Amino acid sequence: MEEHFENEMNLEFISKSANEAFARISVAAFASQLDPTIEELADIKTAVSEAVTNCIIHGYENEFGVVKIHAKLNQNKIIVEISDNGKGIENIQLAKEPLYTTKPNLERSGMGFTIMESFMDSVDIESIVGVGTKVTMSKKIKKEETNQEELSQMTSMP
Ligand SMILES: Nc1ncnc2c1ncn2[C@@H]1O[C@H](COP(=O)(O)OP(=O)(O)OP(=O)(O)O)[C@@H](O)[C@H]1O
Ligand SMILES: [Mg+2]
C-alpha cells in the first residue's frame, strides 16, 4: 500500500559548513507545523546538524558536493532523510559505535550517530562506498492534552 504523507519538502544545498545552520533551521521551521515543544525542536535541530556535518566533513571531505534533505510529516511524526553522494561508509556498525571516528585529528569525538540516536526515535543508515550515504531519522511529536483542549476551545469560539 502506498503511504500517504500529509506534507513533504525537499532541500538541496552545496556542502559548505555555512549551510549547516540553514539546514537545521529550515527543518525546524518545517517541523513546527506539528506544534512541537522547544525541547523537541532542539532535538531535531541537533540531529539534523550532526547528519549534515557528517555529509560535509566525511562524505565530501570538504570538497564540492550536494547535500539533500527530504522531510515528511505524517500524523504527528516527522521523518527526515539526509543524503550525500560522497565517499560512503565501509562499516556502518562500527561507525555507529560511540567514540568511533575516522577523523580523530579534526577534533571529532565520534559521537554524531550516538547523539542522533538519543535525540530521535529511530535512525537508519544506508551507505555504499563510492556512491554515498543516506540517514533516515524519525521522531514522534507528543502533543499535550492541554494543547488539544485549548485548540478546540479556540476553534469553537465565535
Ligand atoms: N555521510 C558520511 N559519509 C561518509 N562517512 C561518514 C558519514 N557519516 C559518518 N561517517 C563515518 O562514520 C564515523 C562516525 O560518525 P559520527 O558522526 O558518529 O562521528 P564523527 O563525525 O567522526 O565525530 P563527531 O560527530 O562527534 O564530530 C565518521 O568518523 C565517518 O567515518
Ligand atoms: Mg559526526
Which residue numbers are catalytic?
50, 54, 108
| Angstrom distance (rounded) from CA 31 to CA 64 | 28
Ligand 1 centre to CA of 77 (Å) is: 26
- What's the number of domains the chain is made of? 1
Nearest ligand for residue 86 CA: 1
pLDDT of res. 148: 58
- The DSSP code for 98 is T
In a domain, 1, yes or no: no
Model pLDDT for residues 49-84, shown as the tens digit of each residue: 999 999 999 999 979 999 999 999 999 999 999 999
Tell me which residue has its CA closest to atom 6 in ligand 1.
58
CB of 112 sitting under 6 A from ligand 1: yes
pTM reported for the whole predicted model: 0.90
pLDDT number for residue 107: 81
Domain residues for 43?
7-155
Cell numbers given for 22 = 540553514
Q: Which residues of the chain have pLDDT under 50?
A: none
The answer to whether position 2 is within a domain reads no
Residue 57 has a CB neighbour count (10 Å cut-off) of 17
Contact 136, 81 (CB under 8 A): yes
Report the C-alpha gap between 145 and 112 in whole angstroms.
33
